[in-house]
Structure 1
Amino acid sequence: MADTEPEHAGQPGIASAALFGLCPRCGARTLFGGLASFAPRCRVCGLDFSGFNVGDGPAAFLTLIVGALIAVLAIWVQLSFEPPFWVHILLWVPLTTLAVVGGLRAGKAALLAAEYQRRAGEGRPRDE
């Protein structure tokens, strides 16, 4: 049973790549070059990230999910504690910003890692 070793041995899983911004090939923390934008390529192994089509899919779902959660929490806080309006601003603006940016990074990284593991791409051969 020596050849039952997984094909992706030594590579990070989708969840760890998403949470920590790991390169799906070598596991280095080189996936992001900006706040929510990918680096052009991995500085360690040279994997070209531009060959992956992540697009805006995570942003659409994230907007709906975060918006619904924040709205429900804001209504609950208002009905339970009746705080002044400025408390809502201090609570929900930073919380929404952090949830959207953090969720967008994780969602984009998860999709890129899934595309890499399933060998999906833009229809051209990738360097492997």
Structure 2
Amino acid sequence: MTDQTAPPATDRPTWPAVFKGYRRCCPNCGKGKLLHSYLKVNDACSVCGQELFHHRADDGPAYLTILIVGHLMAPALHVAYAQYRPEPLTLFAIFALGCLSLSLYLLPRLKGVIVAYQWARRMHGFGKSG
């Protein structure tokens, strides 16, 4: 056994990190960019130097996006159809555009949330760095 102990989890509060991740900012300082291009995570924060390449977001952001968009749009689709009875093509066009727009908006933000959550909980190698 080694004498090194992990720092307490309280020095990385989860909710502030998650909010910073939602804004696509570094979970450590909140100033540097978490993502470059659309969904690529930076290897390190350009402001504080926090290593970010440890993340294992994988398919999590896509699953959460589908879950949220589905739970928002399905009831809206039901209400719109039951109340207004629009033409099928109109209904399709509006909800296809809504689903696409909401998905493209949420996907990078949810990726930031997952990376920030992993950082705050010291998962997948984030515990080694400051």
TM-score (norm 1): 0.75
Matched, 1:7 2:11: yes
Residues 1:23 and 2:26 aligned together: yes
Runs of 5+ in structure 1 lacking a partner? 1-5
- Distance in 2 between residues matched to 1:98 and 1:32, nearest whole Å: 19
> How far off its partner does 1:37 sit?
2.9
May I ask how many residue pairs the two structures share in their alignment?
121
Q: In the TM superposition, what is the alpha-carbon distance from 1:47 to its structure 2 partner?
A: 2.2
Tell me: higher relative CO, structure 1 or 2? Use CA pairs within 8 A at least 6 residues apart.
2
Give the root-mean-square deviation of aligned CA atoms.
Answer: 2.7
For residues 31-85 of structure 1, what are the alpha-carbon distances to aligned partners after superposition, in whole Å with 9 as ceiling and x for unaligned? 1112233223222222222111122123223213312432221122112111122
The equivalent position to 1:109 in structure 2, one of 112, 116, 119, is 112
Shift of 1:23: 0.2
Consecutive unaligned residues in structure 2, runs of 5 or more: 1-9
For residue 93 of structure 1, the aligned residue among 93, 96, 103 is 96
* Counterparts of 1:48 and 1:98, CA distance in 2: 31
Alpha-carbon spacing, 1:125–1:116, altered in 2? closer, same or farther (3 Å) = closer
The aligned counterpart of 1:35 is 38
Q: Provide the TM-score with structure 2 as the length reference.
A: 0.74
In structure 1, distance between residues paired with 2:119 and 2:127: 12
